[in-house]
């Protein structure tokens, strides 16, 4: 049972959040200790309305093209990668990728989310040539290569992060997905054998923002991290966004443990009510990031819909193809019509967007 002093402190902190005051990391710990989820949801919904007063909820139709599953890393939460030399390893040639993109365009898609493993020796020409061809042939938005891939490319080419990003942008790269963010605390990253440390992940985004390339910030939780580590993750994202803005969205999702080494230790998924609580805290903590996405793919469409009342103004992608978290147990599926109907049923106006959150429809 909370003391009267603690209750008063929580009430005061919630009032300061409502007044749009920034709380410190320590103050957020006190909020997370005691604030009711419904109240956090109400405040997050208020902030969402302030940032998006037209009640539009966006979504994207795109395709997750995984050009290769060969990876030198061994993240314990990953069911996608194959070690170099594995008979199950693959690298798609350009023609295979073109046919996937053509299918995506036929289905009304606006862009490609392209990510892969950390291939030990695929040359930079493979990536730049592919972007150039995709842009020239189809003129689509190219949302490609998460910070671990970019950090890896920077190292194996010797060009550094800025050199690699300049080459990729010249070839057609439009924006960068925030994959590999997981929890930005090295203690938990080392335990989960996550590729690239906190500073390396943030540095890629810092350089991208300096070059004017939009990015997304993510969080994958439910892999044994502590409450304080989740809050520290928000703090690191907020610090970067304040110093050098460029995150256009925050996308939290939950560990899918099936077929992963870590799944033996943490077989249980984060439940919907816990997801919604952290979605609301993320919306409020990261108040300088304009958009927040609810992850229907990992939580199911029902929780995704509820997320629209806990601070989210985006319902993500129809995911025409997904190969990374699906093998780990994310089996939810939704079509464009299903997403639009869900958005309307919750009282919002659906609108298609690009991967950089530029709206496409009126
Ligand atoms: S999450 Fe990415 S970097 Fe980690 S093992 Fe899987 S493919 Fe490799």
List, chain by chain if needed, residues with CB within 6 Å of any ligand 1 atom: 71, 73-75, 78, 80-81, 117-118, 148, 195
pLDDT of residue 330: 60
**Residue 5: inside a domain, yes or no?**
no
Give 70's strand partners. Answer: 82
Q: Between residues 332 and 99, which one has the greater pLDDT?
A: 99
* Res. 6: pLDDT tops 90: no
Query: Using CA positions, which residue lies closest to atom 4 of ligand 1?
Result: 75
State which of 72, 78, 262 you would mutate to test the pocket of ligand 1, scoring each by most atoms of that ligand within 8 A of its C-beta: 78
Confidence class for position 2, pLDDT limits 50, 70, 90: confident
Instruction: Count up the domains in the chain and report the number.
Output: 1
Between the CA of 328 and the centroid of ligand 1 the distance, in Å, is 12
Query: Using CA positions, which residue lies closest to atom 2 of ligand 1?
Result: 117
Provide mean pLDDT across the span 8-23. Answer: 95
**Residue 261: inside a domain, yes or no?**
yes
Taking all residues of the chain, what is their mean pLDDT, rounded to a whole number?
A: 93
Residue 130 near residue 170, CB atoms below 8 Å:
no
Domain limits for position 202: 36-352
Residue 39, both tokens: 């109240």
State which of 68, 70, 71, 192 you would mutate to test the pocket of ligand 1, scoring each by most atoms of that ligand within 8 A of its C-beta: 71
Residue 362, both tokens: 């009126």
Give alpha helix (H) positions in 227-352: 227-243, 272-285, 296-299, 301-307, 336-345
**Residue 67: inside a domain, yes or no?**
yes
**Residue 167: inside a domain, yes or no?**
yes
Between the CA of 19 and the centroid of ligand 1 the distance, in Å, is 41
Q: Which CATH number characterizes residue 329's domain?
A: 3.20.20.70
Tell me the pLDDT tens digit for each residue of 103-160.
989 888 889 999 999 999 999 999 999 999 999 999 999 999 999 999 999 999 999 9
Tell me the pLDDT tens digit for each residue of 319-350.
666 565 566 566 666 788 999 999 999 999 99
pLDDT of residue 321: 62
Provide mean pLDDT across the span 182-199. Answer: 91
State which of 70, 73, 189, 328 you would mutate to test the pocket of ligand 1, scoring each by most atoms of that ligand within 8 A of its C-beta: 73
* Res. 90: pLDDT tops 60: yes
Between the CA of 352 and the centroid of ligand 1 the distance, in Å, is 29
**Residue 335: inside a domain, yes or no?**
yes
pLDDT of residue 362: 56
**Residue 360: inside a domain, yes or no?**
no
Q: Kindly give the interhelix angle for 25-34 and 272-285, rounded to the nearest 10 degrees.
A: 150
Tell me the pLDDT tens digit for each residue of 223-234.
999 999 999 999
Between the CA of 264 and the centroid of ligand 1 the distance, in Å, is 18
**Residue 254: inside a domain, yes or no?**
yes
pLDDT of residue 79: 87
Tell me the pLDDT tens digit for each residue of 53-73.
999 999 999 888 999 999 999
Between the CA of 234 and the centroid of ligand 1 the distance, in Å, is 22
Tell me the pLDDT tens digit for each residue of 242-294.
999 999 999 999 988 877 888 888 888 899 999 999 999 999 999 999 999 99
The count of residues in the chain is: 362
**Residue 30: inside a domain, yes or no?**
no
pLDDT of residue 333: 67
């Amino acid at each position: 049972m909370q003391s009267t002093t603690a209750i008063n402190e929580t009430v005061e902190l919630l009032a300061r959040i409502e007044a749009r005051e920034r709380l410190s990391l320590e103050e957020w710990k006190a909020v997370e200790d005691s604030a009711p989820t419904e109240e956090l949801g109400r405040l997050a919904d208020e902030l969402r309305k302030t940032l998006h007063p037209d009640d539009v909820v966006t979504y994207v139709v795109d395709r997750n093209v995984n050009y290769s599953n060969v990876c030198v890393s061994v993240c314990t939460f990953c069911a996608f990668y194959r070690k170099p030399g594995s008979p199950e390893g693959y690298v798609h040639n350009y023609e295979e990728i073109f046919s996937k993109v053509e299918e995506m365009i036929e289905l009304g898609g606006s862009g490609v989310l392209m990510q892969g493993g950390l291939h030990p020796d695929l040359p930079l020409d493979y990536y730049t040539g592919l972007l150039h061809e995709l842009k020239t042939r189809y003129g689509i938005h190219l949302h490609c290569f998460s910070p671990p891939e970019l950090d890896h490319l920077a190292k194996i080419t010797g060009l550094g992060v800025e050199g690699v990003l300049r080459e990729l942008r010249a070839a057609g790269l439009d924006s960068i997905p925030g994959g590999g963010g997981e929890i930005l605390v090295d203690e938990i990253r080392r335990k989960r054998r996550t590729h690239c440390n906190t500073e390396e992940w943030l540095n890629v985004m810092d350089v991208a923002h300096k070059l004017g390339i939009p990015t997304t910030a993510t969080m994958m939780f439910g892999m044994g991290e502590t409450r304080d580590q989740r809050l520290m993750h928000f703090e690191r994202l907020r610090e970067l966004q304040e110093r050098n803005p460029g995150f256009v969205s925050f996308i939290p999702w939950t560990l899918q443990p099936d077929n992963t080494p870590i799944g033996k230790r943490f077989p249980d998924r984060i439940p919907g009510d816990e997801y919604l609580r952290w979605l609301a805290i993320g919306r409020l903590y990261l108040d300088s990031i304009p958009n927040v996405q609810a992850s229907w793919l990992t939580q199911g469409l029902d929780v995704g819909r509820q997320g629209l009342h806990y601070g989210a103004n985006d319902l993500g992608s129809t995911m025409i193809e997904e190969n990374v978290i699906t093998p780990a147990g994310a089996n939810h599926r939704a079509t464009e019509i299903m997403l639009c109907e869900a958005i309307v049923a919750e009282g919002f106006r659906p609108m298609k967007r690009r991967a950089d959150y530029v709206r496409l429809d009126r």
